[in-house]
Structure 1
Amino acid sequence: MILWGCAAPSFNGSDFTWKTYRNERYGFEFPYPSNWTVLSAPTNDDGIALISPQNNTVEIRAWAVNQLPDPITKDQNSNFQTAQGVSGIILVEVDQQVSLMKLTLTQNQVKYYWQGRSQNEDFPDYYRLFYYIAQQYRIPQ
């Protein structure tokens, strides 16, 4: 099942101590809880994966890819806007065991991806955290 568009009740980010991941290759960045574990980065430096210290099945992943040489148009069916003012697409996908919140942003020749993932039974506990981080995701403009 895919849910189109998401909203989250207010989330108090001050309840967390944050670090910021900055990708040197593509220039995107986002905050994450400082106690989350960074998994080994890919050798091409296109992104990062993090896991929760309380539950290693809860993870955040972010990466970017170059697209065709011609600039691509922004996502025409955007349903989300970051705090930076960038429009994109956010979806929640639910299968039999896993739920994902997925954000996709497009800028010039680059497509940016971010996702928060957990087991279905844990997803309600992480939904507002994932949504908050997606809102804070920044790309070069």
Structure 2
Amino acid sequence: MGTANKTCSLGRRIYWFAVSVSGIIALLIILWGCTANNFNAGAIAWKTYSNSRYGFEFPYPSNWTSLVAPENDDGIAFTSPQNKTVEIRGWASQQLPNSIVTEQEPVKKIKSNFQTAQGVSGVLVVEVDQRVGSMTLTLIQSQVKYCWQGRSNSQQFQDYYRLFYYIAQQYRISKP
């Protein structure tokens, strides 16, 4: 009986190892496709969205269509003319001062892993599941949380990765 339990336990470990390895391989294939050097920012006609309320801006392809901006002017979203499910959006919000945050509200401290061309550090998160791929940039300056995101369906995410990354790099805060 002890040998059967050990064999079963070993079988489970091998199974979970194989699942983990195959997941890592799938992620590497997606990221390898994302690093293709077929993106040329100079070949795109750009416009710049500027938000006067929070003082941020980012470039977007000039042929992309803006969605209706919220009345509070906290941000904007643009869609690709080729595919309305591909979006880029930027927004901001006031953060509560640290002294107001209670102990019941855990504060997530994520180490900075990205720096914009302006030199502002933040967190860049890339998530790809079976349906949607997204790249989200979060910057916090002077009690304001700035966010930018690029989204597409997961099958096309590798086609937009370089565009999204470029826009995230060019994100600027004019009211630091």
The Cα of 1:28 is off from its aligned counterpart by 0.3
Moved more, 53-62 or 75-84: 75-84
1:18-38 per-residue CA deviation (whole Å, 9 max, x = no partner) reads 000000100000000000000
- For 2:171 and 2:121, how far apart are their aligned partners in 1? 11
Q: Is 1:93 matched up with 2:93?
A: no
Larger Rg: 2
The Cα of 1:96 is off from its aligned counterpart by 2.0
Alignment of 1:21-60 (within 5 A): 21-60=49-88
Q: Is the 8 A contact 1:8 1:131 kept in 2?
A: no
1:55-88 per-residue CA deviation (whole Å, 9 max, x = no partner) reads 00000111000011459xxx65000000000000
- Count of aligned pairs: 135
List alignment gaps of at least 5 residues for structure 2. Answer: 1-22, 100-108
TM-score w.r.t. length of structure 2? 0.71
Alignment of 1:102-141 (within 5 A): 102-139=136-173, 140-141=175-176
Q: Is the 8 A contact 1:23 1:29 kept in 2?
A: yes
- For 1:8 and 1:27, how far apart are their aligned partners in 2? 31
Q: CA RMSD in A?
A: 2.1
TM-score w.r.t. length of structure 1? 0.88
Structure 1 letter corresponding to 2:64? W
Moved more, 80-89 or 60-69: 60-69
1:61-120 per-residue CA deviation (whole Å, 9 max, x = no partner) reads 11000011459xxx6500000000000000111122001100000001100000000001
The Cα of 1:13 is off from its aligned counterpart by 1.1
Instruction: Return the structure number with greater helix share.
Output: 2
Instruction: Return the structure number with greater strand share.
Output: 1
Closer/same/farther in 2, CA of residues 91 and 76 from structure 1, 3 Å limit: closer
The Cα of 1:12 is off from its aligned counterpart by 2.3
Q: Is the 8 A contact 1:102 1:114 kept in 2?
A: yes
| Higher RCO, 1 vs 2 (CA within 8 Å, ≥6 residues apart) | 1
Alignment of 1:65-104 (within 5 A): 65-69=93-97, 77-104=111-138
- Structure 2 counterpart SS, 1:45: coil
The Cα of 1:137 is off from its aligned counterpart by 0.1
- For 1:48 and 1:9, how far apart are their aligned partners in 2? 28
